[in-house]
Amino acid sequence: MQKRFNWGTGIFIFLVLFFIAIFSFVYFAFMQNNDLVEDDYYPKELTYEKQIEKRKNLQKLGEEIRLIQNNKELLLSFPASQKQNDIEGEIYIYRPSDARSDMTFKIVLDSLNSQTINADKLLKGKYIVKVDWTYQSESFYQELTIIL
């Protein structure tokens, strides 16, 4: 006895394959990493005007932070016009592709007005170094992009 392939069998096979494709798509969509740039982006949006003012202060200063990248460390040199004891703030190393790789450091300068950050723990890829600091009650902000 020979089995016949009719239009009902074709529709059934099509529907089974269609549902397998849909369920596969849904499964892989839920497995994707969808980190936000900021978890609390709305409050940060409200204070963004302050960040613009900090960038303007940096432009008025006329000097920027210099970033020197070696194999195992990052060296951030702060403006020479600012004394090391009067600088307070933090360095935030942001990796756009993986929020788990983000790091934050308190600014602790050496006698050369610079800070060294160990880069051994940083994975290869693109990072944005965000430096937010205060010098004599005036605030500054700078972003630097690096690729390890």
> Residue 83: what pLDDT?
81
**Per-residue tens of pLDDT for the chain, all 148 residues:** 677 778 888 899 999 999 999 999 999 999 887 777 777 777 777 788 898 999 999 999 888 889 988 878 899 998 888 887 788 999 999 988 888 888 899 998 888 888 898 888 888 889 999 999 999 889 999 999 998 8
Residues 54-69 have pLDDT tens digits of 999 999 988 888 998 8
Domain locations along the chain = 1-32, 41-147
DSSP 106: E
Residue 105, phi then psi, degrees to nearest 5: -130, 145
Task: Please give the Cα distance from 140 to 64 (Å, whole number).
Answer: 10
> Residue 137: what pLDDT?
87
Q: Assess contact for 65 and 114: CB atoms under 8 A.
A: no
Task: Please give the Cα distance from 121 to 59 (Å, whole number).
Answer: 32
pTM score? 0.73
Place of tokens 């006698």: 111
Q: Which fold has domain 41-147?
A: Immunoglobulin-like (2.60.40)
Give me the DSSP letters along 42-93. Answer: HHHHHTHHHHHHHHHHHHHH----EEEE-SSEEEEEPPTTS-GGGEEEEEEE
Task: Please give the Cα distance from 37 to 99 (Å, whole number).
Answer: 8
Element housing 42 (H / E): helix 41-46
